[in-house]
Amino acid sequence: MDRLLVVDDEFRNLLEAHSAEELDQLRKNIVRDGRVIDPIVVWEGEDIVVDGMTRYEIALAENVPFTTIDIPFENRQQVKDWIFAHQFGRRNGDGISRARWRAMLVEAKATKISNVRGSKTAIVESVAKATGVSARQIWSDLAVTEVLDSLTPQAKRNIVHGHIAATPESILSIKDLPESQKSQVCDVLENLPTNVGEDLVFRSVEEVVQAVAEHQSGQPEKPEQKNKRLEQEIAKIERFIAELPARIDSVAEGKKLKRSPWKERVQVAFASFVTIWREQCKKP
Cα 38 to Cα 26: distance, rounded to the nearest angstrom? 12
Residue 156 lies in a domain: no
Residue 37 lies in a domain: yes
Q: Check whether residue 23 and residue 3 sit in a common domain.
A: yes
pLDDT, tens digit, for every residue of 255-272? 555 555 666 666 677 677
pLDDT, tens digit, for every residue of 105-139? 888 777 666 545 557 888 888 888 877 888 999 99
Task: Pick the last residue of a domain from 100, 119, 150.
Answer: 150
Task: Pick the last residue of a domain from 103, 126, 150.
Answer: 150
Specify the CATH number for the domain of residue 68.
Answer: 3.90.1530
Residue 157 lies in a domain: no
pLDDT of 231 over the 90 cut? no
Model's pTM, two decimal places? 0.57
Q: Check whether residue 261 and residue 212 sit in a common domain.
A: no
What residues have CB less than 8 Å from 243, skipping those under 6 apart? none
Residue 269 lies in a domain: yes
pLDDT band at 196 (very low <50, low <70, confident <90, very high): very low
pLDDT band at 277 (very low <50, low <70, confident <90, very high): low
Q: Name which of 204, 214, 136 is nearest 167 in CA terms.
A: 204
Residue 48 lies in a domain: yes
Cα 91 to Cα 142: distance, rounded to the nearest angstrom? 18
Cα 32 to Cα 259: distance, rounded to the nearest angstrom? 29
pLDDT, tens digit, for every residue of 68-95? 999 999 998 889 878 877 776 655 455 7
Name the residue range of residue 239's domain.
Answer: 223-282
Tally of domains within the chain: 4
Contact between 105 and 125 (Cβ < 8 Å): no
Residue 177 lies in a domain: yes
Cα 82 to Cα 71: distance, rounded to the nearest angstrom? 10
Radius of gyration of the chain (CA): 23
